[in-house]
Structure 1
Amino acid sequence: MIGFALNTLRHRKAAFAGAFLALVCAAALVCACGILLDTGLRGAVEPVRYAGTPVLVAGDQNVRETTRDGDKVKSKAKPVSDRAWIPSSLADRLRTVPGVRKVVTEVTFPATVEGRPVWGHGWESAPLTPFTLREGRAPAAGEVVADAAAGLSVGSRVNVRTATATRVYRVAGVTTEALDQRTSLFFSTEEAARLAGRPGMVSVIGVFPEVDVAPALAGTPGVVYTGDERGRIEFLNAEKARIKLVSLGGALGGTSLIVAILVVVGTFALSIQQRQRELALLRAVAATPRQIRRLIGGEALLVGLPAGLLGAGLGVGLAFWLRSQFVGLGVMPANLSLVVGFFPPAAAVLAVLGAAWTAARVSGRRTARIRPVEALGEAAVRPPGISPGRTIAGLACLGGGVALTLLLSTLETEAASSPVTMLTALVWTIAVALLGPIIARAATAVLGLPLRAFRVSGHLAAANLRTGTHRFASVVTPLSLMIAMTCTILFVQDTMGHAVVEQSRQGNRADYVLGPRLPGVTADAVRRLEGVEVVTEVMRTSVRVGLERYGAQGVTTAGLERTMDLGVSAGSLGRMGADTLAVSETAARSLGVEVADEVRLTLGDGTPVTLAVAAIYRRGLGFGDLTLPHALVAAHVDDPLNQTALVSAPSVRRDALAAVLGGVGVLDRVEATAEQSNAGVNYVAMGLIIAFTAIAVVNTIAMATSDRTRELALLRLVGTTRRQLMRMLRLETLMAVLVAVTLGTLIALVTLSAFSTGMTGSALPYVPVLTYLEVIAAAAALALLATVLPALLALRSRPAEAIGTRE
C-alpha cells in the first residue's frame, strides 16, 4: 500500500497540497513553542557586569515553602520581584576564608541622568567587571565617574535624579569599559550608600579567586552564585522572563496543537471527500477496509514527514523572531539566549505525524467500512447525515463547552482564567466542527429562501448548498475557528483593559495626577504649595502571600480617602497605619481573611512582614489586590521613586504645579486613566494562532473551490455563463461567511461573557464595534479571495477539456 500511496501522491499533488501546507504551519508553531518552553526551563542569562567576578554572594531571590506528605518532603520556590539585600558585615566574614584574596562589596540603585535611566554604584565596586579609568580620577564627594557609553566628558556637570533628591554632580572620570544594556554611573562610597538608602546593607559581594565560601555563610542570608547563576543576580527580570516563557510556551504550544489537529482533521476530511469516487472504486474492486485504512494512513505519513521536517526548520526561525519581539517589548533580556535542542523539532515532527495519521484515519473511517456494493453510490451522492459516533462526540464537546464556560465564570485571577479561556473557545469550536453537517443543513434550509431572489445564480447556490452540506461544513469550520479565536484573543485583553481603566477612573478623586517617576522630595514640595490639600504618593510593586503573587500598591495614608476611592465594602481606609493593609475582595476570598485578620506576606525584596487587615475593597483591578503603607513598600523595592502622586488641590492651577515639578508630568483625572494596559506579549504570541487559522481558511476554501472544476464545466455546458458562475460562488462563500460569523461570534461571546463574569463581576464584555467589524471584514475578504482566484483558474479551460481532465 505504500507504493500505491506514493502513486496517489504523485498524480494528485493538488489534493494533498492543502494538507501539506496545514501540517507545515502546525509543525512550525509547535516547534517554536517548544523552543520557548525549553528556553524557559533550561535557558541561562550570561553575566555582563559580573562576568569578571568568579564568585558572587547575594541574597536569596526566592520565597520558599516546604511541605511534608508522609515521609516525603517537598520544597517549592517562587522568585521575588526586587533585589534581596544582605548585611555588609558578611564581607568581613568572607575575608577570613582561606584562599580568598579579595572581597568587593557593591550597592546598586536606579538613577536618571538628563532623562536617561542609569544604574548607580559605589566606586569601590569597579573591580567586579572590572572598570578602569580611561581619563580622570576616582570620584570624591559631589563627583561621579561615568562609563564610556554615557557620553559624558571629564569636567562636565550632570543633573542626576535619584529617589532621595535631584543634584548636580561633576564628572571626575570616564571609564574605558562600557556594558551592553546597562549604563553605569559611579559615586563615592559614602555617597552611593546614602543614595541607595540601605544603611549597613549591600546588594552583592564579589569574591576573588573562586573558592568554596558556602561553609562560611551557614546561618546567614547570603547565597553563593557562580557560573551562569551570576546572570540571574545581575538581571533580576531574567527569572521572571524564564517563568513567562514556560507558561507562554506551554499554553501557546498546547493551543497550537489543538488548533492544528482541528485544522488538519478538516483538511484531510475535505481531501478524502474529494477522492470518494477513487476510494469507492478501490472498494468495488475488492480492496479490504484494512487496505484502505493503510492506504490513507500511508498517504498521511508520506505527507506528514516532509511537512513536519520543513515546518520544524521554519519553527526554529519563528522562535528567533518571537524572541526578538519579546526583547523589543522589554519582557525578555537580550542576553537570554534561546536553547535550540533536539527535542522541540523532534516533538514537532512527531506531533505532526500523529496529527496527520489520526486525521486521515478518522476522516477515512466511513469510506473504509462501507460495503463494496454501496461504495460507488456513496461516492456519487454523499449522505447528508453524520455517523452516530460523531454525533455523540459532538454532543460530548457541547457538554464540555458548557462545563468549561461555567468553570471560567468562577475564575477570578488572570493566571487561572487565561488557559481556560482559550480551551473553552476551542472546545466550543470542536463541537461545531463535529456537528458541522447538521448545522450546515439547518443553515442552508434557512438561507435557501433569500438566495433564490438572485434568480439563476441564487438558485444554483441554494441547490449546491443543499446537496453539498459536508463541503459547506468543511468551509464553515475554519472560518468559525478564525473568528472565534480572533475575537476571544483580542477582546479578552480589551475587556480587562477597559475594566482596569473604569475602576481607575471611578476610584480617582484627585484633581491632578503627577508622574511618572516622582521623587518623594518633589511630592513634599507640592504639599507645601498654598491650596494643596492632600498629596497621596503611589508606588507599585508585587508581593507574595505564601507562594502566590499579588499586585500591590504602596500609598501614603494621610487623607487617602480624599484622593482615592477603592470602593471599600468592609472596614475603613481611615484605620490604615504602619502595620495594616487593605485587601481587595478577590484577594480576601482567596486568602480567606476578613477585617482585623492578620496576613503574613513577603515584600518585594524577600522581607517577611505581618499586617492586619484594615479594609476590604472592590476595585482590585484598578488599584491592585493589596494596598500597603507607602513607607513599608519604599524601603523594600529596587526603585523607590513613586509611579504617581494624586493631588487634591481644587484651587491650584495646573501651571503652578508644573513649575514645582521640574519636568515631571501633570495630568488631570481623565488623562490619567486614558491608557490601556500593555498586552503586547499576548498579542504577539496568540497572533500566531490567528495567522495559522487564517491560512487554514484560505487553504480549505481554495481546496473546496479547486475541486469543483468538473461541476463548473458541466454548468457551462448547459448554458450557464462565467459571470453567473462567479456570482454563484460568491453567494455560496458569503453564506458560509454569514454562518461562520454567527457561530464564531456566539462562541466568542459565550467565552468572553464567562471570562468577564469571573474577572470583572459583569457578564457584559467590552467589545469595540469597529475592531469587531474589522475582524469580520478580514474573514470575508480572505474567504472571497480564496474562492475567486481558484475559480478564475478553473474557468479558464474549456468545459469539454475540464471534464476530460477529471475523467
Structure 2
Amino acid sequence: MISLATVRERWSAFLGSFVAVALGVTVVTMSALMLLSGGTGVPERLAGAPVLVRAPTGEQTGGQFAEPRPWEPGHAEQLRRQLADLPGVRAAVADRSFYAQLPGIEQKKGERQGHGWSSAALASYGLHDGRPPTRRDDIALARSYGHQPGERVTVLTADGPHRFTVSGTLDGPGYFVTDARAEALAGGVRVIGLALESGTPVAQIAAAAERVVIRADGGGEVLTGESRDALAPQQDEMTRWIGGQVLTAMAALSAFVTVFIVSSTFAFTVAQRRREFGLLRTIGATPKQVRRTVCAEAMTVGVLGAALGAIAGSALAPSVAGVLVDAGLQPEGFAVRSRWWVPCAALVLGVAVALAGAWSASRRAAKVAPMESMREAAVDEQPMTRRRWVAGLVVTALGLACAVGTALADSDTMVLLGLGTATGLTAGLTLLIPALVRPVVGALTRPLARRPGATALLVRENMRTAVRRTSATVAPVLATVTFAVLITSTVQTTETADTDRQAAAVQARTALAPTGTPGLSDAATEEAGLTRNAMLSTTVYGGRGQSALTAVGVGEGFPQLYGHPAPRAGSVLMAESVAAAHGWRSGRSAVVTFEDGRKERLRVAAVLGDEEVPYQLVLPRAVVREHDPSALADVAYRTGEDALPQLGSVLRAHEVSVGSYASSAEAEEDRLVWIFTLMLVAMTAGYTAIAVASTLLTATADRAGDLRILRLSGATCGQALRAVAGETVCAVALGAVLGMAVVIPALTGMVHGLRESLGVPVEAVIAWPWVIGAVGGCLVLGLVASVVPAYRLLRGPAGRPDARA
C-alpha cells in the first residue's frame, strides 16, 4: 500500500521508468511477432505443385545466401524419371531458370526470370489468353506487362536482346519459352516439381519421393505445404536475414537501455528520498522492508508499463511490418502472424527488466540510516565512493585499450573494438561524472562567474553543489551524443574508405555500369568494345560443406586492371580467406561445381589478398560462359583513351567514373545499413531523451522549496527561470563535451586501422548534422522538462514569496 501510494503521489518521479518500460515492451513484442512470422509464402510459380524436390544446400554464412548447388545433368534427369514413375505422379518437371527482362519495365528480382514452358505446370496460375510457346521465338509472359498475343517484343537475356513473338499471356509473373530454348539459356536443375493425379495423398507421394532421394547419389530435400516457401528467391532470404538482424538488435537494445533508464531513474529518486527512507527507518522499518518497498514500486511501474507495451506492440506490429517492407528490410508479401503467448512473455520480461533496473537502487535505499531523517542540506559531500572510483577508472582504461586495439586490428575485429571503445569510455565516464562535475563545470562556467549579477553565480554554484542531480542529467546526454555521433560517423567513414579502396584497386579510366538491370549482357560489352575488361559474375560451389563462392570470369584485360596475370584454362585464382577456409593452397588442385551442375578440377594458380579483387574466385571468362549461360557482367572497365560508342537504349548501360561505380555497386546494401543505423540511433536517442526529461522533470518538481527561497531572497520569476534554464544548458553542454571526448578516440583509432588494413588514405567523417541534432534535441527537451515545471511551480502557491512550508 505504501508503494502504491508513493507511485500515485510521486508519479513524475516514476514517469521516465514507466515510459521506458512501455516503449521497451512495445519494441520487444513487435520484434518477436515479426521474427516468428516465418517466410513470405510459397512462390506463385511453384505453388501449383504440392510436392517439390530441391537440390541439397551447402553451407551458408550469415548474410550470404545463394541458390542450392545444382545437380549434375545426368543425375537430374535420372532423378526426374524415377520421380515420374512413382504411382500417383502425373508429371515430374525439371525447372530451369535463366535471366530475362523487358527493357522498358522495372521489375523485382524474382520476376526477372525465364523458364521452360513445362515449368508452367508447377505454377498456381496459367494462361490468360493465347497459346503456349511452341516455336523458338515464341514467348508467354505476364499480362501485367501490357503486351497482347501476336505482338513482337524485345527481351534481354545474358547474351543480349532477342526478338520474340508473344504467344500468350499469363495471370502471374515470369517469362516462358520452349523447353529447348530454356535449356540453351539456363544453367543446371535445382528443383523438380511433382504434379499429382487427382485424389492422390500428398503425404504418400512425399514419403515415396523421400525414399527415391535417399537412394540417389546427389541427395536432395522433399518439400511440401508451407515448407515450400524455402524456394522463395534468395534475395528474399537475404532481406529476411537483414530484417531479422535489425529486429534482434532493436529488441536487445530496448531491453538493455530500459534497464539503464530504470536504474538511473530509481538511483536518482532514491538519492532524493534519503530523508523519507530515514523517516521510515526511524519509525521501525527494517532494511529488508525498505528494499521491498522500492522493489514493489518498480513492480507497480513495470506491470503498468509492460501491460501498455504488450497491447501497443501487438496492435502496431502489422503497421511496422509494412514500413519495414517499404524500406526493403522485409520482402514483399511478408505479413505478421499473431501469437497470444508473445505479448504475455513480453509483459513478464518487462516486469523483470523493471525489477532488475531497480535492484541496485533498492539496496542503496536499504542502507539509509535513521539519522538521515535529520538531514536538511542538499550538498553532496562525498558523491564518489572508492568502489566507484576503481570501477570508473578500470572501465575507462578498457575503453582506451580498445581504442588502441582498433588502430592495430584487422577489418573483421575493428567494428567490435570500436563498439568496445564507445561502450567502455561511455560507461567509465558515466561512473566518473560525479568527480568530473565540479572541475569541468567550473571550467565551462568560468565566464558566468565574471558576469555581474547573481543569476550566473547561482547557476554555477547550484551545479557544483548538487553533484548527483547534475550527474543524473549529464549521463543520458553523454550517451545520446556518443552513440548518435559515433554510429553515424563510423558508417560514413567506413563507406567512404571502402569506396576509395575499391576505386584504387582498379587501374581504369571509367566504368560501363548496368542501368536498371542486374548486369551487362554480352551484347552490351561487345558493342562497347570492353569484353576483355568485363567482370562476368557467377557462383560456384566447392570446398568444405560445398559452400557457395562468388566467382568472376575475366578476359585478357585483367592484368592491366588488377596487376595480376589472368588465369589460364584449367586454373583459378582465389582469395586468401577462401583458400584458408577450405584448405586450398597455391599449386594444388580444387574441385568446384558450376552453375550447370558439372564439376571441374582446377589448379590454384595463385592466392590473392582479400582486398585485391572483390571476388572469392577468379576464372577464365570462357570457362564461366561455358558453364553459366545466364551469367551477366557486373561491370566492364575502360582503360584506353578512346571514348565509348553510344549504346542503344535496349542494351541498358551507361558510362560512369570508377569511384561512382564503386559507390553504386553497394548502394542497396549501404541503403539498408544506413536505415539500420538510423533506426538504432533513433532508438538510442529516444530512450536517452526519456532519461533526460524524466531526470529534469523529477529534479524540478522536488525544487519547490529552493524556488520559494529564491523568491524570498528577492529574485523575480524571470530570474528564477533563467537560473533553471542556465543549469540545463550547462548540463547539456557538459554531456556534449564528454560525448565528443568519447567519439574522438574511438573514431581516431578506427581511421588509423582502416588506413593500415585498406592501404588507402582515410579521413574521419564526422556527421556534424547529427552532432547538432543530438545536442540540440537534448537541449530543447531539457529546457521543456525543466523550465515548464519550474514556471508552473513559480506561478502556483509554492512559488509565492509569502508561501509557508
Q: TM-score range by the shorter chain?
A: 0.7 to 0.9
- In the aligned structure 2, how far is the partner of 1:165 from the partner of 1:85? 24
For the structure 1 residues 144 and 802, does the alpha-carbon distance in structure 2 shift closer, same or farther, using more than 3 Å as the test?
Answer: farther
Task: Give the TM-score of the pair, scaled to structure 2.
Answer: 0.86
- In the aligned structure 2, how far is the partner of 1:403 from the partner of 1:545? 38
Residue of structure 2 in register with 1:612 after alignment: 604
Once the two structures are superposed, the pairs formed by residues 336-415 of structure 1 within 5 Å of their partners are 336-342=334-340, 344-377=342-375, 380-402=378-400, 404-405=402-403, 412=410
Q: Secondary structure at the match of 2:269?
A: helix
Which amino acid letter does the alignment assign opposite residue 295 of structure 2? Answer: G
Pick from 715, 723, 738 the counterpart of residue 720 of structure 1.
715
Question: Following TM superposition, by how much is the alpha carbon of 1:51 offset from its aligned partner in structure 2, in angstroms?
Answer: 2.1
Which amino acid letter does the alignment assign opposite residue 449 of structure 2? Answer: R
Question: Following TM superposition, by how much is the alpha carbon of 1:443 offset from its aligned partner in structure 2, in angstroms?
Answer: 1.8
- In the aligned structure 1, how far is the partner of 2:263 from the partner of 2:799? 34
Pick from 471, 474, 477 the counterpart of residue 472 of structure 2.
474
Instruction: Specify every segment of 5 or more residues in structure 2 that has no aligned partner in the other structure, as ranges.
Output: none
Root-mean-square deviation (CA, aligned residues, Å) is: 3.5
Pick from 738, 747, 769 the counterpart of residue 743 of structure 1.
738
Q: Are the equivalent residues in 2 in contact too, given 1:31–1:316 (CA < 8 A)?
A: yes
Q: Secondary structure at the match of 1:612?
A: strand
Once the two structures are superposed, the pairs formed by residues 156-235 of structure 1 within 5 Å of their partners are 156-175=151-170, 177-178=171-172, 183-198=173-188, 201=189, 203-208=191-196, 209=200, 210=202, 211=205, 212-217=208-213, 218=215, 219-235=217-233
- In the aligned structure 2, how far is the partner of 1:606 from the partner of 1:445? 74
Q: Secondary structure at the match of 1:703?
A: helix
Which amino acid letter does the alignment assign opposite residue 313 of structure 2? Answer: G
Which amino acid letter does the alignment assign opposite residue 139 of structure 1? Answer: P
Pick from 30, 33, 49 the counterpart of residue 32 of structure 1.
30
Residue of structure 2 in register with 1:274 after alignment: 272
Pick from 518, 521, 542 the counterpart of residue 519 of structure 1.
521
Q: Deviations over 1:369-405 (max 9, x none)?
A: 1321244327744434233343344344335434655
Matched, 1:623 2:603: no
For the structure 1 residues 616 and 322, does the alpha-carbon distance in structure 2 shift closer, same or farther, using more than 3 Å as the test?
Answer: farther
Residue of structure 2 in register with 1:67 after alignment: none
Once the two structures are superposed, the pairs formed by residues 178-327 of structure 1 within 5 Å of their partners are 178=172, 183-198=173-188, 201=189, 203-208=191-196, 209=200, 210=202, 211=205, 212-217=208-213, 218=215, 219-317=217-315, 319-327=317-325
- In the aligned structure 2, how far is the partner of 1:598 from the partner of 1:93? 35
Q: Deviations over 1:39-94 (max 9, x none)?
A: 5xx65744432222110012123328xxxxxxxxxxx9997513433323321121
For the structure 1 residues 318 and 539, does the alpha-carbon distance in structure 2 shift closer, same or farther, using more than 3 Å as the test?
Answer: farther
For the structure 1 residues 206 and 360, does the alpha-carbon distance in structure 2 shift closer, same or farther, using more than 3 Å as the test?
Answer: same
Question: Following TM superposition, by how much is the alpha carbon of 1:19 offset from its aligned partner in structure 2, in angstroms?
Answer: 1.8
Q: Are the equivalent residues in 1 in contact too, given 2:186–2:628 (CA < 8 A)?
A: no
Q: Deviations over 1:618-645 (max 9, x none)?
A: 735x835655555556677796222211
Q: Deviations over 1:170-189 (max 9, x none)?
A: 111123x33xxxx2121122
Q: Secondary structure at the match of 1:228?
A: helix
For the structure 1 residues 236 and 772, does the alpha-carbon distance in structure 2 shift closer, same or farther, using more than 3 Å as the test?
Answer: same
Q: Are the equivalent residues in 2 in contact too, given 1:108–1:203 (CA < 8 A)?
A: no
For the structure 1 residues 597 and 311, does the alpha-carbon distance in structure 2 shift closer, same or farther, using more than 3 Å as the test?
Answer: farther
- In the aligned structure 1, how far is the partner of 2:512 from the partner of 2:587? 33
For the structure 1 residues 803 and 690, does the alpha-carbon distance in structure 2 shift closer, same or farther, using more than 3 Å as the test?
Answer: farther
Q: Secondary structure at the match of 2:520?
A: coil
Matched, 1:441 2:438: yes
Pick from 64, 70, 95 the counterpart of residue 85 of structure 1.
70
Which stretch of the first structure deviates more once superposed, 210-219 or 388-397? 388-397
Question: Following TM superposition, by how much is the alpha carbon of 1:307 offset from its aligned partner in structure 2, in angstroms?
Answer: 0.5
Matched, 1:658 2:647: yes
Which amino acid letter does the alignment assign opposite residue 69 of structure 2? Answer: A
Residue of structure 2 in register with 1:536 after alignment: 534
Which stretch of the first structure deviates more once superposed, 134-143 or 631-640? 631-640
Q: Deviations over 1:334-366 (max 9, x none)?
A: 334445435543443333323322332312433
Residue of structure 2 in register with 1:127 after alignment: 121
Once the two structures are superposed, the pairs formed by residues 682-761 of structure 1 within 5 Å of their partners are 682-686=676-680, 687-756=682-751, 761=756
Q: Deviations over 1:423-452 (max 9, x none)?
A: 553343222333321222332233342221
Residue of structure 2 in register with 1:788 after alignment: 787
Residue of structure 1 in register with 2:91 after alignment: 102
Which stretch of the first structure deviates more once superposed, 136-145 or 679-688? 679-688
- In the aligned structure 1, how far is the partner of 2:370 from the partner of 2:222? 74
Matched, 1:139 2:120: no
Which stretch of the first structure deviates more once superposed, 720-729 or 573-582? 573-582
Which amino acid letter does the alignment assign opposite residue 732 of structure 2? Answer: V
Q: Secondary structure at the match of 2:374?
A: helix
- In the aligned structure 2, how far is the partner of 1:280 from the partner of 1:131? 77
For the structure 1 residues 386 and 604, does the alpha-carbon distance in structure 2 shift closer, same or farther, using more than 3 Å as the test?
Answer: farther
Which stretch of the first structure deviates more once superposed, 382-391 or 53-62? 382-391
Which stretch of the first structure deviates more once superposed, 52-61 or 793-802? 793-802
- In the aligned structure 1, how far is the partner of 2:703 from the partner of 2:103? 68
For the structure 1 residues 50 and 578, does the alpha-carbon distance in structure 2 shift closer, same or farther, using more than 3 Å as the test?
Answer: same
Residue of structure 2 in register with 1:49 after alignment: 45
Which amino acid letter does the alignment assign opposite residue 437 of structure 2? Answer: A
For the structure 1 residues 780 and 509, does the alpha-carbon distance in structure 2 shift closer, same or farther, using more than 3 Å as the test?
Answer: farther
Q: Are the equivalent residues in 2 in contact too, given 1:523–1:537 (CA < 8 A)?
A: no
Q: Secondary structure at the match of 2:164?
A: strand
Q: Percent identity?
A: 25
Which stretch of the first structure deviates more once superposed, 301-310 or 140-149? 140-149
Which amino acid letter does the alignment assign opposite residue 425 of structure 1? Answer: A
For the structure 1 residues 260 and 399, does the alpha-carbon distance in structure 2 shift closer, same or farther, using more than 3 Å as the test?
Answer: farther
For the structure 1 residues 534 and 196, does the alpha-carbon distance in structure 2 shift closer, same or farther, using more than 3 Å as the test?
Answer: closer
- In the aligned structure 2, how far is the partner of 1:742 from the partner of 1:593? 52
Residue of structure 1 in register with 2:634 after alignment: 643
- In the aligned structure 2, how far is the partner of 1:714 from the partner of 1:638? 86
Q: Secondary structure at the match of 1:740?
A: helix
Q: Are the equivalent residues in 2 in contact too, given 1:121–1:192 (CA < 8 A)?
A: yes
Q: Deviations over 1:552-582 (max 9, x none)?
A: 45141412132346xxxxxx34456652214
Q: Deviations over 1:681-701 (max 9, x none)?
A: 422542333332333333333
Q: Are the equivalent residues in 2 in contact too, given 1:280–1:379 (CA < 8 A)?
A: no
For the structure 1 residues 753 and 593, does the alpha-carbon distance in structure 2 shift closer, same or farther, using more than 3 Å as the test?
Answer: farther
- In the aligned structure 1, how far is the partner of 2:336 from the partner of 2:285? 50
- In the aligned structure 2, how far is the partner of 1:313 from the partner of 1:276? 36
- In the aligned structure 2, how far is the partner of 1:711 from the partner of 1:636? 82
Question: Following TM superposition, by how much is the alpha carbon of 1:460 offset from its aligned partner in structure 2, in angstroms?
Answer: 0.7
For the structure 1 residues 557 and 742, does the alpha-carbon distance in structure 2 shift closer, same or farther, using more than 3 Å as the test?
Answer: farther
Residue of structure 1 in register with 2:572 after alignment: 580
Residue of structure 2 in register with 1:69 after alignment: none
Matched, 1:465 2:463: yes
- In the aligned structure 1, how far is the partner of 2:15 from the partner of 2:520? 59
- In the aligned structure 2, how far is the partner of 1:716 from the partner of 1:758? 57
Which amino acid letter does the alignment assign opposite residue 204 of structure 1? Answer: I
Q: Are the equivalent residues in 2 in contact too, given 1:286–1:372 (CA < 8 A)?
A: no
Q: Are the equivalent residues in 2 in contact too, given 1:262–1:430 (CA < 8 A)?
A: no
Q: Are the equivalent residues in 2 in contact too, given 1:123–1:187 (CA < 8 A)?
A: yes
For the structure 1 residues 699 and 10, does the alpha-carbon distance in structure 2 shift closer, same or farther, using more than 3 Å as the test?
Answer: closer
- In the aligned structure 1, how far is the partner of 2:305 from the partner of 2:509? 61
Which amino acid letter does the alignment assign opposite residue 791 of structure 1? Answer: A
Which stretch of the first structure deviates more once superposed, 791-800 or 256-265? 791-800
- In the aligned structure 2, how far is the partner of 1:299 from the partner of 1:134? 66
Instruction: Specify every segment of 5 or more residues in structure 1 that has no aligned partner in the other structure, as ranges.
Output: 65-75, 566-571
For the structure 1 residues 37 and 376, does the alpha-carbon distance in structure 2 shift closer, same or farther, using more than 3 Å as the test?
Answer: farther
Q: Secondary structure at the match of 1:155?
A: coil
